[in-house]
Amino acid sequence: AEDKPYIALVSKGFQHQFWQAVKIGAEQAAEELGAEVTFEGPDGEGAVDRQMDMISAAIAKKPTAIGIAAIDSQATVPLLKTAQKDGIPVIAFDSGVASDIPLTTASTDNLASAALAADKLAELIGGSGQVAIVSFDQTSQTGIERRDGFVNQIEAAHGDVEIVAIEYGGGDHLKSAEITKTLLQAYPDLKGIFGTNEGSAIGVAIGKKESSSDVVVVGYDSGKAQTDAVRDGTIAGAITQNPVGIGYEVVKAGIAASKGEKLEPHIDTGFYWYDKSNIDDPTIQAVLYD
Amino acid sequence: MNDTTINSSQLGANSLVERAKRNQHRFWAFSGLIFLVIGFSLASPNFFQTSNIISILQATSVNGVLAIAATLVIITAGIDLSVGTLMTFCAVVAGVLLTNLGLPMYIGIPGALLSGFLAGALSGFFVAKLNIPPFIATLGMMLVYKGLSLAICGGRPIYFNDTEGFVDISTGSIIGHIIPAFPIPNGVLILFLVAIFASFILTRTILGRFIFALGSNEEALRLSGVNTDRWKIVVYSLAGGICAIAGILLASRINSAQPAIGQGYELDAIAAVVIGGTSLSGGKGTMLGTIIGALIISVVANGLRILSVPQEWQIVVTGSIIILAVYADQLRRGKT
Amino acid sequence: MNDTTINSSQLGANSLVERAKRNQHRFWAFSGLIFLVIGFSLASPNFFQTSNIISILQATSVNGVLAIAATLVIITAGIDLSVGTLMTFCAVVAGVLLTNLGLPMYIGIPGALLSGFLAGALSGFFVAKLNIPPFIATLGMMLVYKGLSLAICGGRPIYFNDTEGFVDISTGSIIGHIIPAFPIPNGVLILFLVAIFASFILTRTILGRFIFALGSNEEALRLSGVNTDRWKIVVYSLAGGICAIAGILLASRINSAQPAIGQGYELDAIAAVVIGGTSLSGGKGTMLGTIIGALIISVVANGLRILSVPQEWQIVVTGSIIILAVYADQLRRGKT
Amino acid sequence: MNILVDMSGIEKHFPGVHALKSVQFELREGEVHALMGENGAGKSTLMKILSGVYTRDGGSVQVMGQDVDFAGPREAQDAGVGIIHQELSLMNDLTVAQNIFIGREPRNFLGILDEVLLNKNAKDIFEKMNVGMDVGAEVGTMTIAKQQMVEIAKALSYNSKILIMDEPTAALNDTEIQELFRIIDQLKADGVGIVYISHKMDEIKQISDRVTVMRDGEFVGVRDSKDTSIEDIISMMVGRDLELETEQKPDTSDNMTALEVKNLNRGKFVKNVSFSLKKGEILGFAGLMGAGRTEVARVIFGADRLESGEIFIDGEQKFIDTPSKAVEAGIGYLSEDRKHFGLVLGMDVRTNISLASIARFGSSLGILNEAKISKTATDFISKLDIRTPSEKQEVKLLSGGNQQKVVIAKWLLRDCDILIFDEPTRGVDVGAKSEIYKILRDLAASGKAIIVISSELPEILRLSHRIAVMCEGNLTGFLPANSSQEEIMRLATATMQSSNNKNNQISEMSS
Ligand SMILES: Nc1ncnc2c1ncn2[C@@H]1O[C@H](COP(=O)(O)OP(=O)(O)OP(=O)(O)O)[C@@H](O)[C@H]1O
Ligand SMILES: Nc1ncnc2c1ncn2[C@@H]1O[C@H](COP(=O)(O)OP(=O)(O)OP(=O)(O)O)[C@@H](O)[C@H]1O
Ligand SMILES: [Mg+2]
Ligand SMILES: [Mg+2]
């Protein structure tokens, strides 16, 4: 195994399906390119120092390249410097690092994708009315960007739409479902809800079903429960990123970098809107996971 | 025998006072609940509505069942930190049996329950036979179940789409069939059935008697010729089985076994138990109290959301209520 | 007085054996650590290297300091579930003082420490004066600090970019200046200083004496004319102050106060304490044991990562090690 | 003679209990003042008020002429009042010296504890008491007797002018008691006033100058000890006369053997113990504190693991490693520590009585027949004359003697053929004591085989049909019922040199 290139990936999370999809993409690339990968991430929200311990251990293993989805864009910089000193190429994924050390960043534009979700939701509710956000957390970069991207777009482009509540369910299906049911109770005129990641979106869908409400739900990410909900109309549509693609690109970029190849500064892995009408399109199917 | 008579009448009074106090306790916890409900109803017209009450009940179902399991263990002066991840583990087992192996429900569900029992028995074995303090044994097992759930699932949820009727276990409504105005979900019904069952065990059976005795004075029970080790294992097994019920309720409600959920649920469950007046030092406790405690937690969470209190303040209020509830309890018992 | 003499010589022997056992305990925990280090070193050449050892030490610093705080409370037969979120709360206070208010470090850092002391005193007040069981009081406070941290920060981290030298508190290396081959970060140095300080308190001061006495028999201490309430508050305050040190170490290491971190850290800290041989029932414990316990946790986490063990199995192994460590301890004490 | 303490009109209420009703008490300089009364009479409560543990609800307390109102134990100590509590209150994880000086540790100028001086001071106290003690040993590892000595040393260390001793000898053997009495004499000579509480009548006669008797929270009277007979004190205590019945002891030597143990070993407290016990026989186990009698009982009962040895019940060998197996084999054990090992204090009388036999009250599904439990409990309450308002009373609210009867009822209900009573009358007042003796005799008469472990020689002599004596884990000999206290003490202090004689005696007895 000594001769095989080894790519160590340290992500922001580990348990949630999005990260598992990134892992799958990484493993696919590893298989194709004859590399080895490991994939790790802290399991609590925002555990910056835990992630730093993981990066340290990854560097100690002297990998061919290292891929990092930093929880905090600043805190990891000193560690990245160590990697740079040891000659280990660093690839960022999911969100950027406040440093020029990463040779490239493979990520989704969270602000833009959430803005698209805002446009779609506004359109679906007819351009006016109350909406709410059920997000996964209020402190992570991704959580903040998806929330703010949505909020900013509503404020900028949809003056008749009012955001009445922003709640956080930790990405836990059950908690998000309880939150949704309460929102529907508190705001009987609520027209739309944006669930900002997979767990949140599914939770919102469960809450909607249990309340027998016809509120319009817009989700984010995929996963079987969410695609099913899109098919049966519980969720009107969702943004999907390309997590498998992200994982794939990171490994590919890592190996390329180790060979001294030049990399583009940003790999946009893209995002898509999918709903009942296009869910079976090959382009969409390629980026959905379950 | 003048003195004896006086003494015994004093003691009689004493025990009446004691009994009144005990009932008073439940009365107080119950009044606390009523007070909260009235307060929230006045504060928002959206609170006291059938649909919202049903939501609150449904939100209580999983935590309530976990709290019942925790109550059994806590009365023995133990603690079970593994209830949350064990619940998840049992849901995953159900997923493997029903979805991955395609077995029918009448095998899959008992299978999941059995896995809960066995897992509980293992914790019980650690506590009883290896003398590991319950806090540690169940802290360790909490991590073990979490890791195992993730490993078994390979990181992805297992869906129950192929198992017809699975979602109805929790979300269907038998009561709604009979009384359409009150479509109380089966999950809530199951919570109450489990509570009645556990309450029956506690108050009417040998096991219940021993649960209280274990929490009051384990050594005295052992020296009475009771095989305390075996009964402890029975208690933890029973608690494990009840966690499995919670796992099935959860899985049915979200139509999937989500390996990442579970940790953290134990704190909510323990909070419900202590708000309900069960003492962490063992020997005392009621299921009714625990159910009231679980309802208080759900009502607070729901009410604060309905009032649009920002989430960070919701957390602060919940923490304060836990302390307040126990303080009120101490005041009543005259311990302060 | 024949029998007395004989008895007392027996007791002398007894107490020698006891002392040997106590030392043996630390010896065992220490051998466990050595055993793990040797095992991992053999399994991977990347493990036993200066940089990795330093990483392990640095990974221990925050948890180690929290475990020291937890040890003080646990020896009094209490428990502190709020150490993790209190740490975060103190980091946030430091952020507000240093960054938001732009105060200098010599005000900001003492200010953060003071907030830890006061917060600890509040938990101590709940436990001592309001008679709320430590588990509940600190569970409630855990949520309160979490909510407050989020509320103060408005959900976003506070960065310390404007405070020069702040990151050096934890990541700089005074030792590295003197012995460049061992650039041990200051955070590790601070961990050991805090441990020595706490150990001194425990063994050489009246507070330490009372900490053990509280855990052994609080009522006896009270009957000896000691104001147990006051001393309990002192212990919780001290623990709070030590959590504040952990908060500053953490903030300095990540150059920010992250309001969402904290919950869950208490379990790691408590695990370190019990792996280190301090009993949850109070009256016994050493700081050396706790440090060894914290190191064991870090070594296991690091070693398994270096061996590329999948993360779910890392969790399972960690859980098992907690149970095993305590079981080994019980075996040694001949309790099984 | 100066008056040190003058309490009058003292009132104290606990929730539901009027514990003290206008009680008076006076203590003079240099006197030993015995405070007597049945279990629950209020003796400890009165003394806790004097020592600042409780605050009084009414009445006045003067200490050395000053009106006092102590807010806590510390203030009482500062005013010269020291107390040895009835319940041992020591910190098990601390050493002897640390316990004695808790809160008063010698410190150097930096405020750092001076452990060397601490140990030296502790050693000095024990030297003055003429008691050997390892002051660096953890208290939790020591015998109850040793712990009691630590309590006494702690109380002495305050150099109190007023010293309260609440049942200091309940766990002490005769030599230790005599040593304590010597210390008391010395304190008296120094002008210290001592309040002495005990249920042992002979001690009162031996050391007290005056006796105050309480009954049911009320002051009954105060007498000069030398002018008052034990019988008078007893009738003041119980409000009636107690007849001391004498009984003809039956000859049980031809009865069937119920229990035989051979070469039991466990650690240093059970060494090669062999004996046999007949049906209908009461075998008394005498010995000094820590002789290993409790250990023998616990090993037979399976509460502690046996290292080697054989146990035969009705001639059949049994392997007993847990109490549940012992109970199945027909052995019951009543622990010397009823509060910790005998009773579930927080549960009611009926539950405690049924605890060892609960299976009898359950259906095959384990569902309990509550009515049957209550009825059985009420039967025993009347049979043993347990004084409780109802079978649903919590056991912790009963007095010591009645608690002991609940334990006895538990084992009577279990109907074991072999019963081991460990210190059955410890801390039990004189009235309840004779009732317990009667129960034991009746049990033997009904064919049960009984072992009684007791540290009170008069009790052993009064009850036993045969006496086994232990010393340092060895069974040093058997004696007939009519032996003298001196004979027992000789065997109880016999050392290993006499092991040859021991063997002879054993074969003598069993032949
Ligand atoms: N803390 C307490 N709370 C409630 N009741 C109490 C308390 N302490 C004592 N009592 C009650 O007060 C009465 C007197 O008890 P006390 O301990 O003074 O008796 P005593 O004479 O010392 O008996 P003994 O000989 O058994 O030690 C009893 O009825 C007892 O149950
Ligand atoms: N569970 C135990 N663990 C450790 N030591 C014990 C235990 N039980 C008894 N001992 C010790 O064994 C010795 C023998 O005590 P044991 O109680 O058998 O003596 P005894 O003759 O019954 O005297 P006593 O009147 O004190 O009960 C004592 O030193 C006691 O401290
Ligand atoms: Mg008393
Ligand atoms: Mg004994």
pLDDT tens string, chain D, 511 residues long: the values are 689 999 999 999 987 678 899 999 999 999 999 999 887 788 999 999 999 999 999 999 999 999 999 988 889 999 999 999 887 889 999 999 999 999 899 988 778 999 999 999 999 999 988 888 999 999 988 877 788 889 999 998 988 899 999 988 877 877 788 888 999 998 999 899 999 998 888 888 889 999 999 988 899 999 999 888 888 888 888 776 655 556 677 777 788 899 999 999 998 889 999 999 999 999 999 987 678 899 999 999 999 989 999 999 999 999 999 999 999 999 999 998 888 899 998 899 999 999 999 989 988 888 999 999 999 999 999 988 888 888 998 998 887 778 888 999 999 999 999 999 999 988 778 788 888 899 999 999 999 999 999 988 888 998 999 999 998 889 999 999 888 888 888 888 775 334 444 444 444 344 3
- CB contacts of A140 in chain C (<8 Å) are 260
Are D130 and D196 in the same domain? Answer: no
Q: Which of D158, D181, D201 is the last residue of a domain?
A: D158
Q: B and A: touch, per 3+ CB pairs < 8 A?
A: yes
Confidence label for B7 from pLDDT (cuts 50, 70 and 90): very low
Confidence label for B23 from pLDDT (cuts 50, 70 and 90): low
- Mutation pick from C50, C268, C311 vs chain A, by most beta carbons of A within 10 Å, is C311
D455 lines ligand 2 (CB under 6 A): yes
Nearest CA in chain C to A50: C59
pLDDT reported for residue D497: 38
Domain for residue D199, yes or no?
yes
Are C302 and C225 in the same domain? Answer: no
Nearest CA in chain B to D344: B217
- Pick from C241-245, C310-314, D295-299: least confident: C310-314
Contact D259, D449 (CB under 8 A): yes
Which residue, judged by its Cα, is nearest atom 25 of ligand 1?
A: D39
SS3 call for D241: coil
Nearest CA in chain B to A180: B305
Task: Say which DSSP state A15 is in.
Answer: S
Total structural domains in chain D? 4
pLDDT reported for residue D510: 40
Are B228 and B270 in the same domain? Answer: no
Neighbours of chain B (3+ CB pairs under 8 A): A, C, D
- CB contacts of D75 in chain C (<8 Å) are 225
- For helices C2-43 and C287-306, give the axis angle rounded to 10 degrees: 20
- For helices C83-95 and C134-153, give the axis angle rounded to 10 degrees: 30
Provide the edge-to-edge strand list for the sheet that holds D466-471. Answer: D331-334, D418-422, D449-453, D282-287, D466-471, D474-480
Q: Which of D414, D431, D460 is the last residue of a domain?
A: D414
pLDDT reported for residue B10: 41
Q: Is the pLDDT of residue B310 over 90?
A: no
Domain for residue C208, yes or no?
yes
Note the Cα A168 to chain centre separation in Å. Answer: 16
D277 strand-pairing partners: D259
Contact A267, A254 (CB under 8 A): no
Are D387 and D429 in the same domain? Answer: no
Find, among D471, D461, D466, the residue nearest to D493 by Cα.
Answer: D471
Contact C185, C173 (CB under 8 A): yes
**Which residue in B62, B261, B308 is closest to A186 by CB distance?**
B308
Total structural domains in chain B? 2
Are B193 and B113 in the same domain? Answer: yes
Mean pLDDT on A249-273: 90
- CB contacts of B155 in chain C (<8 Å) are 312
Domain for residue C53, yes or no?
no
CB pairs under 8 A between C and D: 114
B184 touches chain A (CB under 8 A): no
Mean pLDDT on C255-278: 90
DSSP result, D364-376: TT-BB-HHHHHHH
Are B201 and B288 in the same domain? Answer: no
Neighbours of chain A (3+ CB pairs under 8 A): B, C
Domain for residue D249, yes or no?
no
Q: D and C: touch, per 3+ CB pairs < 8 A?
A: yes
pLDDT reported for residue C17: 53
Mean pLDDT on B255-280: 90
Q: D and B: touch, per 3+ CB pairs < 8 A?
A: yes
Q: Is the pLDDT of residue A80 over 70?
A: yes
Domain for residue C227, yes or no?
yes
Q: Which of C262, C289, C305 is the last residue of a domain?
A: C262
Top mutation candidate among D13, D14, D84 for ligand 1, by most atoms within 8 Å of CB: D14
How do residues C192-208 score in pLDDT, each as one tens digit? 999 999 999 999 999 99
Percent of chain B with pLDDT over 70: 91
Instruction: Report residue C277 as tokens.
Output: 């041989």
Are C152 and C252 in the same domain? Answer: yes
Q: Give the span between the Cα atoms of A95 and D299, in whole angstroms.
A: 68
Q: Give the span between the Cα atoms of D451 and C319, in whole angstroms.
A: 48
**Which residue in C4, C205, C221 is closest to D111 by CB distance?**
C205
Ligand 4 centroid – CA D240 distance (Å): 32
C209–D94: do the CB atoms touch at under 8 Å? yes
Q: Is the pLDDT of residue A47 over 80?
A: no
Q: Give the span between the Cα atoms of A96 and A113, in whole angstroms.
A: 16
Q: Give the span between the Cα atoms of A131 and A189, in whole angstroms.
A: 9
Please report which ligand is nearest the Cα atom of D54. 1
Q: Which residues have CB under 8 Å from C164's CB, separation 6+?
A: none
Q: Which residues have CB under 8 Å from A109's CB, separation 6+?
A: A268, A271
Q: Is the pTM of this model over 0.90?
A: no
Are C109 and C153 in the same domain? Answer: yes
How do residues C110-140 score in pLDDT, each as one tens digit? 999 999 999 999 999 999 999 999 999 999 9
Which residues constitute the domain of residue B175? 77-262
Q: Which of C262, C289, C316 is the last residue of a domain?
A: C262
Mean pLDDT on B237-243: 98
- Mutation pick from A138, A173, A182, A214 vs chain B, by most beta carbons of B within 10 Å, is A182
Q: Give the span between the Cα atoms of C55 and C38, in whole angstroms.
A: 17
Nearest CA in chain D to B333: D15
The one-letter amino acid at D257 = T
Q: Please give the mean pLDDT across all residues of chain A.
A: 89
How do residues C167-226 score in pLDDT, each as one tens digit? 899 888 898 889 888 889 999 999 999 999 999 999 999 999 999 999 999 999 999 989
B193 touches chain D (CB under 8 A): no
Confidence label for A249 from pLDDT (cuts 50, 70 and 90): very high
The one-letter amino acid at B117 = F
Domain for residue C258, yes or no?
yes
Q: Which residues have CB under 8 Å from D490's CB, separation 6+?
A: none
Are D403 and D423 in the same domain? Answer: no
Pairing of strands A90-93, A65-68: parallel
Are D485 and D464 in the same domain? Answer: yes
Domain for residue C29, yes or no?
no
Domain for residue B84, yes or no?
yes
Q: Which of D122, D143, D158 is the last residue of a domain?
A: D158
Confidence label for A46 from pLDDT (cuts 50, 70 and 90): low
pLDDT reported for residue C82: 96
Are D6 and D135 in the same domain? Answer: no
* Cα distances (angstroms) measured from residue D430 to each of B42, D231, D462: 65, 11, 14
Q: Give the span between the Cα atoms of D419 and D496, in whole angstroms.
A: 30
pLDDT reported for residue C329: 77
pLDDT reported for residue C74: 97
Domain for residue B59, yes or no?
no
Find, among D439, D441, D498, the residue nearest to D474 by Cα.
Answer: D498
Domain for residue C43, yes or no?
no
Top mutation candidate among D92, D142, D143, D452 for ligand 2, by most atoms within 8 Å of CB: D143
Are D409 and D433 in the same domain? Answer: no
Q: Which atom of ligand 2 has the smallest separation from the CA of D143?
A: 31
Nearest 10 degrees: CA dihedral of C253, C256, C259, C261? -20
Contact B270, B287 (CB under 8 A): no
C206–D98: do the CB atoms touch at under 8 Å? no
Are C256 and C280 in the same domain? Answer: no
- Pick from A2-11, A265-274, C280-289, D180-189: least confident: A2-11
Ligand 1 centroid – CA D44 distance (Å): 7
How do residues B48-74 score in pLDDT, each as one tens digit? 988 889 889 988 999 999 999 999 999
Domain for residue D370, yes or no?
yes
Mean pLDDT on A5-16: 87
Q: Give the span between the Cα atoms of C151 and D490, in whole angstroms.
A: 78
Confidence label for C23 from pLDDT (cuts 50, 70 and 90): low
Are D76 and D167 in the same domain? Answer: yes
C23 touches chain D (CB under 8 A): no
Q: D267 or B4, which is more confident? A: D267
Domain for residue D139, yes or no?
yes
Mean pLDDT on A237-244: 91
Residue spans of alpha helices (H) in D59-137 = 73-78, 96-100, 115-129
pLDDT reported for residue D167: 87
Pocket around ligand 1: residues whose beta carbon is below 6 Å from it?
A: D 14, 17, 19, 37, 39-45, 86, 399-400
Are C167 and C235 in the same domain? Answer: yes
Contact C292, B130 (CB under 8 A): no
Instruction: Report residue D376 as tokens.
Output: 């059985």
Percent of chain C with pLDDT over 90: 65
Are D420 and D496 in the same domain? Answer: yes
Mean pLDDT on C104-109: 95
Mean pLDDT on B225-252: 96
Are B252 and B299 in the same domain? Answer: no
Q: Which of B215, B244, B262 is the last residue of a domain?
A: B262
Q: Is the pLDDT of residue B162 over 60?
A: yes
Question: Tell me, what's the ipTM?
Answer: 0.84
Top mutation candidate among D174, D269, D271, D289 for ligand 2, by most atoms within 8 Å of CB: D269
